[in-house]
Structure 1
């Protein structure tokens, strides 16, 4: 079983509330979403594993069980072309839960006209594979969001 932790501090809103149909419809996979605090912060790895995909606005870490977890920093933030994001790791790196991955400023993302809401998605999973899914309430980086069996 994989425990997936929050990569950010903020308020959990659940995937259904994400302002993007690909995420809100769970087309990429089940999970939840965080409306982050509006201050410069660092997104951390939600699991121990290997960084298999890395962009300024999003990263995927795959754990030893082959579970890939996508953290997407904001919605449509790819259009910012990395502006306001500082990547702190490299693709292929082995990381541990809580390790700093990307420095960013959710308030600046919002000021640029994008939503800072961050989906945290269990890639290629079924909703039934997730237990203890948090979809509401305040959360700190490192707190458990869900377990994946």
Structure 2
């Protein structure tokens, strides 16, 4: 079913105080959103999510049905941030396979940003290029369609039923 998202972070070598990527992946289409954030604190993640939801306006309620995240402290205010548009689920501790789509997407991000490399040298424009590459890459899982194509098709179907 379309509209179920996994949310996670990709961090640099210095952990919480270093810039990070907030990643959102839609499970059906594998459509990815990458947002560069200044650090991995709960407050910054909350601000990024609320800003995304506010920018989408009324469409956010149709776009997001659920969010699944890990139990990291950066997601301690996730329920508060998305309560108006979606339900939140938390994976069991040390159970990364419960968010397998995110973990697989992170492997793609790591093709451009190797593990241990600081994200401080990247801009949101750089991150947008990685995101576009990920979303425009044909996938065997999607019958060799791109995540973008599958996402747009699902979004159009969602708008027809609304």
Which TM bucket (shorter chain)? under 0.3
Structure with more of its chain in helix, by fraction = 2
Larger radius of gyration: 2
TM-score, normalised to structure 1, is: 0.27
Scaled by the length of structure 2, the TM-score of the pair is 0.26
More strand by share: 1
Higher relative contact order (CA 8 A, sep 6+): 1
